[in-house]
Chains A and B, each alone.
Chain A
Amino acid sequence: MHYDLVVIGGGPAGLAAAYEAYENGISKVLIIEREKELGGILNQCIHNGFGLHTFKEELTGPEYAERCIDKVMYSTIEVKTDTMVLNIEEKYIHAVNGVDGYMVIKASAIILAMGCRERTRGAIHIPGYRPSGIFTAGAAQRYINMEGYMVGREVVILGSGDIGLIMARRMALEGAKVKAVIELMPYSNGLSRNIVQCLEDYDIPLYLSHTVTDVVGSGRLEKVVVQAVDENRKPILGTEKVFVCDTLLLSVGLIPENELSKNAGLRLDPRTNGLIVDETMQTSEEGIFACGNVLHVHDLVDFVTEEAQNAGRNAALYLNGTSAKAKTVQVLNGNGITYTVPQLINLSKDIKIKLFMRVSRPYYNQEIVVKCKEQVIASFKKKVLLPAEMQNIVLETKQLREIDGNILIALEEAE
């Protein structure tokens, strides 16, 4: 089997990347998806709030997914669902499914769009028993929204990121008693809209600077112990609160899923746990591109689509032999910036480059300053910067052509 382009992952990133490459003249495209249908995690995100940038209207996850899927379905892009990629060697993709068996697929270009997975109890070392009733928020979401099963009656949620908040409302609407949302940090990691509409609307208390320090239950979960934490995030003795509950949902972060990338020898960024890419979304291996949550965890799917279109367009350019290499500038992260994607910028063309980044804590009245040594290249005023929210700035390659060295992106107090 040979394809011009193989896209691994049929979620929003893979769908948009494949379609964009197709639109740019690449005809032999294959999407490989491990689930039984396309759409990825959007299929279980039945709440609304998607698509304001991409479709200029407010959609639910499945609606956003279906619009992306429909485009692909009316193209000549081929799709293999229920198919698992086992490994990638050079440009050969080893994959299996029940119909074709073991396949070795040759691709002239590859786009990686495997998405991310949830951090688990083990990753955050929650002590206690190991009863049933402890779910990652996403797993519970799938049970409830797609499989039609309820996972519990009395619920505590650890983590106030948007998934945790959304699930608090979902559980409440479906008749569960959500007793508390617990957040380790002194601020929530969710959008204020979700705090209001998912917690306040349902009288669900949010405990900031708290964490779960014990889990009790021999068969099913019976209760959790919650403690306040100090500024070093260490539990404070004497602040124990007991919540009787049969369910603990964990919404404690997402990790780009890069086992395939690691085995293929691609370079990763320890800051994002994702791949290192340049402004064309190309990874450290020529002809292998990446986009979406496999690169860094996005806040809005709209940005995933935008990034994926960029990857698809550049994969097409690569396949048409029109991509060129010139001087490359590395993007370094300074004060307040956790990570930046892309990590590398190639200056071969005069183009605009959108840089996505996250900040390390809430900041107010700042400037995002782009510098090379002491020379300021650009700066962007920002009233509010929250860690939950991706920031983006646009640079032009023209601005970078004259500089001597790498660029540093940092926050500075605005005047």
Chain B
Amino acid sequence: MIKKITCTICPIGCKLEVDIEKNTVTGHTCKRGEVYGIAEVTAPTRVITSTVKLEGGIYPVLPVKTNGAIPKHLNFKCMELINQIQVKAPVKMGDIIAENVLDTGVDLVATRSIKKG
């Protein structure tokens, strides 16, 4: 089966055609595009950024991210987890908020420091 996708590596946005059975890509103009094409079709991943509830800070929420990409199909599962977390100020940028999110080996980390409010 051929899957048509847009390459997101650079702004050129090449229209890739990925042959899933043969694991080949056409339409790319660079090597990175080829790698992206295969990965995006076989095992797409995304970095999730959101906020978690924060107590006692100058803001009521703390921005967080997964410090690596996680399988795309886990996006909303990851949000469910994020929505249950509550942390207390102060927080430092880079603090691990949740370890090994959904067994992906990726941690959820704070993306800013927030003082006590």
Contact = CB atoms under 8 A, between A and B. Distances in A.
Given A48-B47, A192-B6, A389 B63 contact: no
Interface stretch (A143-151, A152-160, A247-255): A143-151
B107 to A, nearest CB: 15
Interface string B1-44: 00001111001110000000000000001000000000000000
A374 interface: no
Contacts, number: 74
A239 B93 CA distance: 49
A62 interface: yes
A125 interface: no
A316 B58 CA distance: 35
Contacts of A384: 11-13
A43 interface: yes
A145 B6 CA distance: 29
Contact of A65 (B12, B65, B76, B112): B112
A46 B50 contact: yes
Interface residues on A, range: 20 to 34
Contact of A148 (B61, B75, B111): B61
A351 interface: no
Contacts of B72: 201
A66 B6 CA distance: 33
A148 B7 CA distance: 33
B11 A197 contact: no
Contacts of A193: 8
Interface in B71-97: 72, 75-76, 79, 93
Interface string A33-57: 0001000000100111000000000
A48 B67 CA distance: 10
B112 A62 contact: yes
A177 B78 CA distance: 18
Nearest to A39: B112
Contacts of B75: 173, 201
A63 B112 contact: yes
A53 B76 CA distance: 30
A21 B59 CA distance: 32
Interface residues on B, range: 20 to 34
Contact of A145 (B5, B11, B51, B58): B51
Contacts of A197: 8, 46
Nearest to A44: B63
B37 to A, nearest CB: 12
A192 B11 contact: yes
A147 B76 CA distance: 22
A145 B13 contact: no
Nearest to A42: B112
Contacts of B112: 43, 62-63, 65-66
A48 B49 contact: yes
Given A66-B93, A146-B59, A148-B51, A192 B113 contact: no
A346 B48 CA distance: 46
A402 interface: no
Contact of B59 (A47, A148, A196): A148
A29 B89 CA distance: 31
Nearest to A37: B58
Contact of B11 (A36, A59, A173, A386): A386
B11 A389 contact: yes
B93 A46 contact: no
Contact of B111 (A63, A147, A191, A192): A63
A63 B110 CA distance: 9
Nearest to A389: B11
Contacts of A43: 112
Interface in A371-415: 383-384, 386, 389
B86 to A, nearest CB: 12
A47 B6 contact: no
26 contacts: A43-B112, A46-B49, A46-B50, A46-B63, A46-B65, A58-B47, A60-B63, A60-B111, A62-B93, A62-B111, A63-B93, A66-B93, A144-B51, A145-B51, A145-B63, A146-B59, A147-B61, A148-B59, A148-B61, A173-B50, A173-B75, A173-B79, A192-B6, A193-B8, A196-B8, A201-B75
